[in-house]
Amino acid sequence: MIKKSLIFGTISILVAVFAYWGTSSGAKDCGGIPAEKVADMVHAVIQSHRTFYTVHVVERLQAKGVVVASENWRSENTLPLPAQFLKESARLPVNTSAKIGYKLVSLWPINKQNGPKTEFEQKGLLETLQHPDRPYTEVVMDGRNSYLQAMYADMAVSQACIGCHNAHPNSPKQNFRQNDVMGAMIVTVPLSQ
Ligand code: HEC
């Protein structure tokens, strides 16, 4: 029960934050805040939720022998892996008026779907690999709508990251070391609606 309420609590906080952005008066110009700044803030919120989920839900319950996290979490009644948690929660805000989006990508994806699909993703992954300390941003058009896309390096912050990725049979790279760039998070902010 604790796990469920924690997970749903976390998701509802995310939805509330995004819903607020969507309904607040200056949604088009991000309330006068530069879109880059909005992307930075969204990234910070998502990272905090991901870290909280990883440390206080997954690692804690795993250590106590209550439940583990595994890929087939739906059928096995386990917890979603942190990357899956991020992916599942990302399905929610795109359906609100905020139309904000986020996802993980990598040049060495365990899940091929997370490989670079656009020029922006390919270029951004190379740029953030070279300069992990700053985001790579571009304005992209989709029909008549424009979006700011900001890419942030995703670092191997703990032994758990590299342990799992290096051992995973579908991982194309199995020599990650701590503090390596493993991929990136892309945050998409609508500029016109
Ligand atoms: C217990 C295993 C496990 C742990 C721990 C783990 N990952 Fe992953 N990670 C995965 C799996 C499995 C996927 C693919 C999920 C999917 O289907 O989209 C993934 C996806 C990713 C992706 C998207 C690219 C890809 O490989 O598909 C990135 C980036 C990533 N993880 C970074 C990290 C970082 C950084 C950490 C530590 C903070 C971490 N992972 C911890 C298993 C793990």
Number of domains observed in the structure of the chain: 1
pLDDT, tens digit (0-9, with 9 covering 90-100), for 16-63 = 444 444 444 333 456 688 999 999 999 999 999 999 999 899 989 999
Q: How large a percentage of the chain has pLDDT more than 70? A: 82
**The pLDDT value given to residue 25:** 37
Could you tell me the residue range of the domain that residue 73 belongs to? 2-190
Closest C-alpha residue for ligand 1 atom 34 = 161
How many angstroms is it from 25 CA to the middle of ligand 1?
37
Residue among 83, 179, 191 nearest 145 (CA): 191
Write down the pLDDT at residue 92. Answer: 83
Atom of ligand 1 nearest to the CA of 171: 26
In degrees rounded to 5, what are phi and psi of residue 159?
-60, -30
How remote is the CA of residue 58 from the centroid of ligand 1, in Å? 13
Give me ligand 1 centre to Cα 105, in Å.
10
How would you write 83-112 as a 3-class SS string? Answer: HHHHHHHHCCHHHCCCCCEEEEECCCCCCH
- On the question of pLDDT at 126 being above 90, the answer is yes
Q: What is the pTM of this model?
A: 0.85
For residue 97, the model assigns a pLDDT of: 75
